[in-house]
């Protein structure tokens, strides 16, 4: 069971990095911090930009910055940017005939579960994640 794919995972890490910087950051800086393959990360940033999660500027002093405040971008947004919500309803058949015409308790149940996942992803913002990590680091220092 895989909630998000590597693409989205790298994306989140990249976003956290950019959020922490709080200024325009070039892709090169991102993939030297987040340990992702160069080309792959570039593509990921482009997707985030196309999907309006990031705003980019071209040219020499170009780079990426968050399109919104960290508390306004959720994991769900990121997951959706990479097509993570397209196969809806928890049904591997996408609601097409599956021998269980009309009613399907299983599909219903899986749909419910899926909704909860989306709900939780939707409620987790970049800010939440940043805070979590800060607290952990603090804990560490305290010991």
Partner DNA sequence: TTTAAATGATACCATTTTAGTATCATATAA
Partner DNA sequence: TTATATGATACTAAAATGGTATCATTTAAA
Q: Any contact of residue 5 with a copy of itself (CB under 8 A)?
A: yes
Q: How far apart are CA 110 and CA 90, in angstroms?
A: 5
Q: DSSP assignment of 31-57, as one string?
A: HHHS---HHHHHHHHHHHHHTTSEEEE
Residue of 23, 58, 102, 142 that binds a copy of itself (CB under 8 A): 102
Site string for a copy of itself, 51-90 (x = CB under 8 A): ------------------------x---x----xx-x--x
Q: CB of residue 54 vs a copy of itself: minimum separation in angstroms?
A: 17
Could you count the other beta carbons within 10 Å of the beta carbon of residue 113? 10
Q: Any contact of residue 85 with DNA (CB under 7 A)?
A: no
Q: Which stretch binds DNA (CB under 7 A): 2-10, 14-22, 99-107, 120-128?
A: 2-10
Among residue numbers 16 through 55, which ones bind DNA (CB under 7 A)? Answer: 26-28, 36-40, 42-43, 45-46, 49-50
Question: Which residues, other chains included, contact 133 with Cβ-Cβ below 8 Å and sequence gap of 6+?
Answer: 16
Q: How far apart are CA 108 and CA 90, in angstroms?
A: 8
């Amino acid at each position: 069971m895989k909630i998000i794919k590597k693409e989205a995972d790298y994306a989140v890490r990249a976003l956290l990095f950019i959020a922490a910087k709080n200024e325009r950051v070039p892709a090169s800086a991102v993939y030297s911090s987040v340990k992702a393959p160069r080309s792959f990360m570039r593509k990921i940033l482009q997707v985030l930009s196309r999907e309006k999660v990031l705003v980019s500027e071209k040219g020499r002093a170009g780079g990426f910055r968050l399109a919104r405040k960290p508390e306004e971008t959720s994991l769900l947004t990121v997951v959706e940017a990479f097509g993570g919500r397209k196969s809806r309803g928890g049904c591997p058949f996408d609601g097409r005939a599956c021998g269980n015409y009309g009613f399907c308790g299983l599909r219903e149940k899986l749909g419910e579960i899926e909704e909860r996942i989306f709900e939780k992803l939707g409620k987790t913002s970049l800010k939440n994640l940043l805070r979590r990590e800060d607290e952990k680091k603090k804990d560490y220092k305290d010991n």
